[in-house]
Copies of this chain bind each other. A is one copy, B any other.
Amino acid sequence: METHPLTAREQRAWEGYRRMQGLLASQLNRHLLRETGLSEADFVILDALLAAPDHRLRSLALRCEVQWEKSRLSHHLARMQQRGLVAREECPEDSRGAVFRLTDAGRAAVTAAAGHRVAAIRSYLLDLLTPEQMDTLGDVSEAVLTRLAREDPHRHAIAELARPDPGARSNPGA
């Protein structure tokens, strides 16, 4: 395969991004886990259930919302069920399906964790940026997400199934 090496400008953007995203993700995860007992992955799931009608979502809809692979979601939900954070119910409209409900313990945990999480996100990322940088980060992310959705329409584009208008959310966590 014939490809040219990255230019210095590309190198700076890519290398900086690559290093940053790994360190930031693990720092935010470590911080949240230490402060609240919830991992970032836990939080994302619980937050999606918190926002859902009756604090319930079918696995399929939840998968669309968080955009995880199905076996990742299945395994993670099983572990969260074991910890008492969610409960599994039958799906009334499709016997193949599973519905997951936020338990009282799960609700308390995610509610308590939200503030810690926002504080860390501000401290390690948002408060460091100018308004222009923040908007560009949003633009870049949108462009990449659009590109990824083209790559595998089934894997990514189904995200629209879950919630077409993210701006309507009142809870900021996820």
Query: B-contacting residues of A (Cβ < 8 Å)?
Result: 1-6, 8-25, 27, 67, 115-116, 118-119, 121-126, 128-129, 131-145, 147-148, 151, 156, 166-167, 169-172, 174
Contact = CB atoms under 8 A, between A and B. Distances in A.
A3 B124 CA distance: 15
- Interface majority SS on A: helix, strand, loop or mixed? helix
Contact of A144 (B4, B115, B128, B148): B128
Contacts of A1: 115-116, 119
Copies of this protein in the assembly total 2
Given A17-B137, A138-B13, A172 B6 contact: yes
A98 to B, nearest CB: 23
Contacts of A141: 13, 16-17, 19-20
Contact of A3 (B4, B23, B118): B118
Contacts of A23: 67, 144-145, 148, 156
